[in-house]
Structure 1
């Protein structure tokens, strides 16, 4: 169902207007939660209670038992696992504390759909959450399964599947930022646009808006990304580095880490756009979500998606018209 709004009203923030306690969660692991930081800060500045969470690639097994608030749900603070060099959730918690924001970042280990859903349910009940925004740094969360390339959808779609069945949450949304950054993972962005058009026809696309560097949230996001790059120099985020470069107005093959040596980036203004969607509507278009529904391990998700891909004829890639 299409909900009519005014042109001067942002549909994403309109959907969140009545929510008081909002969970902003990184869908795909790594630094994905950073991609949601401008949105989370904007909601905080509006007086909302905002909680941050992330599907984590960090070594959570080393956390003390007191940091685990529920099975598969850890509360990461600025002082968590200081011996670990790679820990995006802790690095973000440290930045948040420096700037006077609530500094707990919840973390989910890599699991299948069933335990991740239970962990989300536990966090939602713990914090009385009434809206969830799932954030993907990139666009592979928008892949329905029959595209020429899916990028790295396993973690993203595990997160989507986990939340799609939690009907008790009145507002569940997805935002994607970093359009074009998944090209080095084989995503065809003409097919991304084709998928967004289909979601619009279904009434599940909530429009797009930019992260201007002249806003308070945009400036803070750039500061947070710089802080993360300084504190994780051996493995900085290519996705957020690209988005931050786009927010600054950079263009083309921008160099901000040796990790991109040998590849050509195409940083451009579209990378700084948030594309927003209704989560149940997006989930309904995924062709293999039912196949991963009963998974308990991430490797099961990988194998189920691979089996699905072997059983279908994929759509051929399309080029942008010149």
Structure 2
């Protein structure tokens, strides 16, 4: 049991020396973990970054692969590719004097993803992994009214759930509310968090204040990414960054949201933290995706599960 003044997430990581912070859902998800990773580095921890990638990794030369399905991305990787969040982050890290390597996993099924995680964990003798989701669909167990886009997120959860020789495996979710545009019912997200609390798997929540060093650096990193990927900026991190700045309501930060009404609000800047094995235990279909080799198998297995399950009806916030 911890004290109120001690954050349970950082308490869990207090004795960890080499920590992997990994983006779960592809795209710019690793940016969602940047404030946490920077805070851990500022505490003297050795922190490595990885991301499940939507980038075109197949064209990378052989020397850029540390292991099957584990690419090593630097600021100079694939200069011909315009969309490459991992490289863009590596460039920002170099600008700020941080180690400028970001590992990338291609989209695969659970088995190869687990092997890639294992290779990375062994490469750096990792003793803690924090899986980060920009959004909340990683918290859905399968019987909700809508699941958002859970395939990559839950492939990561399943991959890490079996690596029980890693002392600490955690999940953090940031960007509460952003998945509403993918059909996620956030009352059901809160219901799931309550259940995880009862199970002892919820580690509490804390904000990313812009007045902190990590908050200011995060805002700078998101702005840098938007400038270097103008044709496809991150809506999730743009929303989180807007919330960190104190913006509210229908905030415009990219033409990609034209025609949609956003609801940027302070809840988007909160980290919700969880024990990964406890979260995995509540997923109703994790066993169905366990033996997958391809990401399309993960998609089809979840779709097959959804055809058989009785879903919980969506609920509205009281007002």
Task: Name the TM-score class by shorter chain.
Answer: over 0.9
Which residue is equivalent to 2:38? 41
State whether structure 2 residue 261 is matched by structure 1 residue 264.
yes
Which residue is equivalent to 1:93? 90
TM-score by length of 1: 0.99
SS in 2 for 1:187: coil
Which residue is equivalent to 1:252? 249
State whether structure 2 residue 104 is matched by structure 1 residue 107.
yes
State whether structure 2 residue 210 is matched by structure 1 residue 210.
no
State whether structure 2 residue 111 is matched by structure 1 residue 119.
no
Deviation of residue 209 (structure 1)?
0.1
Which residue is equivalent to 2:19? 22
Structure 2 counterparts to residues 1-322 of structure 1, below 5 A? 4-322=1-319
Q: Deviations over 1:84-137 (max 9, x none)?
A: 000000000000000000000000000000000000000000000000000000
Structure 1 stretches of 4+ with a deviation exceeding 4 A read none
Q: Deviations over 1:164-184 (max 9, x none)?
A: 000110100000000000000
Report the Cα distance in structure 1 between the residues aligned to 2:33 and 2:113, rounded to whole angstroms. Answer: 19
Q: Deviations over 1:272-312 (max 9, x none)?
A: 00000000000000000000000000000000000000001
Deviation of residue 34 (structure 1)?
0.1
Report the Cα distance in structure 2 between the residues aligned to 1:99 and 1:162, rounded to whole angstroms. Answer: 32
Report the Cα distance in structure 2 between the residues aligned to 1:263 and 1:145, rounded to whole angstroms. Answer: 26
Report the Cα distance in structure 1 between the residues aligned to 2:285 and 2:256, rounded to whole angstroms. Answer: 32
Q: Aligned residues, how many?
A: 319
SS in 2 for 1:287: coil
Q: Deviations over 1:167-207 (max 9, x none)?
A: 11010000000000000000000000000000000000000
Q: Which runs of 5+ in 1 are unaligned?
A: none
Deviation of residue 62 (structure 1)?
1.1
Q: Deviations over 1:260-282 (max 9, x none)?
A: 01111000000000000000000
Q: CA RMSD in A?
A: 0.3
